[in-house]
Structures are given as C-alpha cells and as structure tokens.
Amino acid sequence: MKTAGIWAKTGIALGAATLVGVGLSGCGLVDSIKNSTADAWSVTYAVTVSGEGTPTLPTVTFGEAKSRGEDTVTKNLPNLPLEVDATAPESSRWEKTVMVTATQPASIVATPGEGQRATCQILLDGKRQIAAVAGEPGKPVTCEATTPKFD
C-alpha cells in the first residue's frame, strides 16, 4: 500500500509541475498567436535614380518587420545594383518588397551618386502609393508614412 501512496504523490507533483509549465509558457504562446495573426502590409520601396553618368545608389536605409506583428526595424544596404527603368531609359530603378505591420512606420532614405537625383516611393501591396518624394541632385531623399489599419 505504501507504493501506491508514493505513486499518487508523484502523480500529483507531476500534474502540478505540468500546470505551472503550461501557465508560464501560456503567455508566450498567446503573444506568439497574436503576432502570427496581426495585420501586416506588403510594402514596396522603390527608388529611381537619374542624372549625370551611370546612375548609382551608394546607400539605402529602409524599415521592415522581421516577422508579422513585430515593430519596424531599420536595415541598411550599401552599393545597390540598379536596373534600367523600361519606362524611362535615362533612369535606373531599385525596389524591395518587405513586410510592415499595420499602423507601423514605413520609411526609406536613399542617397544617389554625386550629381544624380533620386526619387522614392512607398507602395502598399505593390499598387497603392502612400508616399513619394523627388530629391535634389546629390542629396538623400526620404519617404515616410505610417501604414494604415486594415479595413
């Protein structure tokens, strides 16, 4: 009979430990589920460079969410390759599509080469423009907007 008592106490202890473990991990689980279902936009940053010589884009800084539901973080990219803009052969273009959580900031700062002019755009789902700015020759251009709530 003493053996049955030990097994009963062990079962109770294991059950209590399981409940504590579930309780402690439950908060993280709830946050994880909340983030995985948060509204997020597909944001396209586009930069067009034109001007003297071969267009260059020495630096670009933009914001993105590492995963759905997370805050926007800044990413820096140097010396980006440009593609000739089919609609304007005297210009070259760079674009990047990232994820940004709804109601979070989306921003890009692009620095063109010397004597060149950069224009930036921020598009939601590749179509809806929420920011556009034309810069001065040789100067950085900044586009920024807060992504809207989902309807």
In a domain, 60, yes or no: yes
Q: Using one digit for the tens of pLDDT, what is the confidence trace for 17-59?
A: 454 444 444 555 555 554 556 899 999 999 999 998 889 999 9
Q: How far apart, in whole angstroms, are the C-alpha atoms of residue 109 and residue 118?
A: 10
**Among 11-25, 72-86, 124-138, which is the least confidently predicted range?**
11-25
Identify whether residues 82 and 101 lie together within a single domain.
yes
Is residue 141 in some structural domain?
yes
Task: Give CA torsion, residues 83, 87, 90, 91, to 10 deg.
Answer: -50
Residue among 150, 106, 149 at smallest CA distance from 131: 106
Strands 116-124 and 128-134 come out as: antiparallel
Clarify whether residues 48 and 72 are in a common domain: yes
Q: Residue 142: inside a domain, yes or no? A: yes
> Is 151 inside a domain boundary?
no
Number of domains in the chain: 2
Its pTM stands at 0.76
Encoded tokens for 89:
């052969």
75 shares a domain with 9? no
Query: In terms of domains, do 52 and 77 share one?
Result: yes
Residue 14 domain boundaries: 1-37
Give the residue-averaged pLDDT of 64-70.
Answer: 92
Residues 59, 61, 63: CA angle, nearest 5 degrees? 160
